[in-house]
Amino acid sequence: MSEPLVAEQERARGELAAWRESLARNPLDADPFFVRLARRYLGPRWAEVEPRLRATAAAARDVDADVAEAGRDEHLPALRRHDELGRAVEEVVFHPASDRVGRAFWSSGALAVLAEPGNDTLSGALVYLLDRNGEAGHACPVACTAGAIRLLQRVGTDEQRRRWLPALLEADFSRRVHAAQFVTEVQGGSDVGRNGCRAEPVPDGSRRFRIYGEKWFCSVADAGLFVVSARLPGAAEGTRGLGLFLVPRSVDGRPNGFRLRRLKQKLGTRSMATGEIEFDGALAEPIGRLDEGFKNLVSIVLDTSRVHNALAACGVLRRAFEEAHSFAARRTAFDRPIAGFPAVQELLARIKLSLRAALASTFRLLDWTDRIAAAAAPGLDGARRIGVMINKYWTALACTRGVRDAIEVLGGNGTIEDFSPLPRLYRDAIVVESWEGTHNTLVAQVLRDFATRRLHEPWLAAAAADLAALERDLPGPHAARARALLDEVRDRIRRLLEGDTGRAQALGRHVVDRMCRLTDWLALCDQLRVERLAGESTDQQDVVELYRRLVLDPVDPQDDPMLAELWARVAAGT
């Protein structure tokens, strides 16, 4: 090869090396919007917890290579049915890299801080920083364990809490007990009322049960504690006949009446074990009232996982933006960095816009959770229930779109497994869309809650409260647009509920989409309001304006001379 060509190739490799080097700094320093959100919602605790957040961000960065190693085809979880003497063990074996990642997740204290009420925002901030690596084999176990913690705290007996909470809250990975929730059955799927796995009482007066039947989709198949739904003898059909049970993995050192049929080969989240489990007399104890099993499953366990699902979407979006933004700043084409091309600026701006909206709406919900725990927000429970469901749906969609845009910025390089984490993150993002309720399932639940519990009323009231603060502190076009959108959404919900059921089912998703846009707009504008009151100079005004032009009131780029300039300004910052 000629010397000029060799020099050109070395220059290109130098650009890629500079891109990798730029990603090595502490992720907290690279994420000013998250820092502003966390400082706002953690308030006076910020100075105390900032070192923990910084250490967690560094740990998440440092395990990046281990996350990739554990996700290689030859290192995925494996089923070990028997030990060397032929005794049943029903174990899942992980690559050592997976354990190193697990230590980072658990030592963060993201679960340990849940021992005290009012720490959901802090826990969520830690989880967000960890989830920059995608599922990483441990994001789902953390989410499921958080759900079990909340379940025990709210409806467990004193004895159950004493027995299980210390191990579930443990920050030492080698000593922790992690949890799973097994609900889905092959004949039911989202139609949980068709579940047939059954619970039979043990005739010894102990209130214990034996679980029989199969579960079709069991993520965290290696968990030490299973939360299992099962049908009670003589109980009503449908979800009303389902109880909720705690099933320890082992009893007296042996598998507790279950058999792992196989591990699933999934599109994403591959380094976390998902399997099919067959129960044959597993010893179990009820958690909460037996006749409220499904209610507790949805309102506590799945609710918790849905918040974690949104945090995962935020973490993945953040990592995708970092990879694409840094690459564009250092990769040159036609003698200039590709970040200077308007088409690339549009992609970067779209990713950043989705990330900002997802973070703002998710931390708004975390703050609601802490306010409810402190009895500082009467009547907010119903609004939060709706908010959690629509936020899970909306952030999951944004995540997939954002990672796809980031791959486009990297071009063909973005599809290479060992060049960047984007291929793995894209697979995880698609799984995030399906977990904890598919889009249609969530929309259907929102409609049921509107029709049977009138939960649109507290949700609209919470939106109106945010609007009132906006109109008070930031009057003008943003508040006026929020007022118009709130009125529109209120009217759409009214019309939906006044129509026939079939039409509501056909149009419900479109109404929920408008609800999500209203949530984004209020959350983004509210953050702008807070920053203006604090005298901070940020790019939040540009982000809000870009959201209006791209999402609320879509413009034709050819007819809007300001749009390209907005793309450039929003794409420029981190």
Check residue 377 and give its pLDDT.
83
Smallest CA-to-CA distance from 280 within 230, 240, 244 is with 230
Over residues 546-555, mean pLDDT:
96
Task: State residue 457 phi and psi, 5-degree precision.
Answer: -65, -50
Residue 21 has pLDDT above 80, yes or no: yes
pLDDT band at 562 (very low <50, low <70, confident <90, very high): very high
Q: Average pLDDT for residues 228-242, to the nearest whole number?
A: 93
Rounded Cα distance, 397 and 409, in Å = 19
Q: Return the pLDDT at 379.
A: 85
Flag whether pLDDT at 319 surpasses 90: yes
| Residue 139 pLDDT > 80 | yes
Look at residue 4 in the predicted model and tell me its pLDDT.
84
Distance (Å, rounded) from C-alpha 113 to C-alpha 258?
A: 32
Reported as a single tens digit per residue, the pLDDT across 152-187 is 999 999 999 999 999 999 999 999 999 999 999 999
Distance of CA 408 to the CA centre of its chain: 24
- What six digits make up the tokens of 173? 């990975």
Average pLDDT over residues 544-563: 95
Q: Which CATH class is domain 179-292?
A: mainly beta
Would you say residue 25 has pLDDT above 90?
no
On whether the CB atoms of residues 335 and 155 are closer than 8 A, the answer is no
Predicted confidence (pLDDT) per residue in 463-521, tens digit: 999 999 999 999 999 999 999 999 999 999 999 999 998 998 999 999 999 999 999 99
What are 406-420's pLDDT values in tens digits?
999 999 999 999 999
Residue 3: pLDDT over 90: no
Q: Quick check: 436 and 305 in contact, CB under 8 A?
A: yes
Given a cut of 90, is residue 74 above it in pLDDT? Answer: yes
Residue 376's pLDDT band (cuts 50, 70, 90): confident
Coil, helix or strand at residue 9? helix
Mean pLDDT of 554-574: 94
Residue 380 CA to residue 455 CA, distance in Å, equals 10
C-beta atoms surrounding 226 within 10 Å: 27
Looking at residues 278-287, what average pLDDT do you find? 98
User: Mean pLDDT across the chain, nearest whole number?
Assistant: 96
Q: Is pLDDT of 391 > 80?
A: yes
pTM of the predicted structure, to 2 decimals: 0.97
Judged against a pLDDT cut of 90, whether residue 8 lies above it is answered with no
- Average the pLDDT over 436-443 and give the result: 93
Phi/psi region, residue 293 (left: phi>0; alpha: psi -120 to 50; beta: rest), is alpha
Residue owning tokens 């400082």 = 39
Helix residue spans in 281-341 (DSSP H): 293-296, 303-330
Helix or strand (DSSP H, E) at 547: helix 540-547
Q: Over range 100-114, report the average pLDDT.
A: 98
Percent of the chain with pLDDT over 70: 100
The residue-averaged pLDDT of 243-255 equals 97
Q: pLDDT tens digits for 288-304?
A: 999 999 999 999 999 99
Residue 82: the pLDDT is 94
Please state, in angstroms and rounded to a whole number, the distance separating the CA atoms of residues 69 and 223: 22
Q: What pLDDT score does 251 carry?
A: 97
Q: Where are the domains of the chain?
A: 179-292, 439-572
pLDDT given at position 188 = 80
Using the predicted structure, report yes or no on whether residue 378 has a pLDDT greater than 90: no
The burial class, CB within 10 Å (0-12 / 13-18 / 19+), for 21 is exposed
Q: What is the model's pLDDT at position 97?
A: 98
CB-based burial, 73-111: b 16+ in 10 Å, e otherwise: eebbbebeeeeeeeeebbbbebbebbebbbbbbbebbbb
Q: Does residue 92 register a pLDDT over 90?
A: yes
Q: How is residue 272 written in tokens? A: 């976390």
Which of 3-12, 403-412, 441-450 is the least confident region? 3-12
* Average pLDDT rounded to a whole number, residues 352-370: 98
User: Token match 């084999």: residue?
Assistant: 137
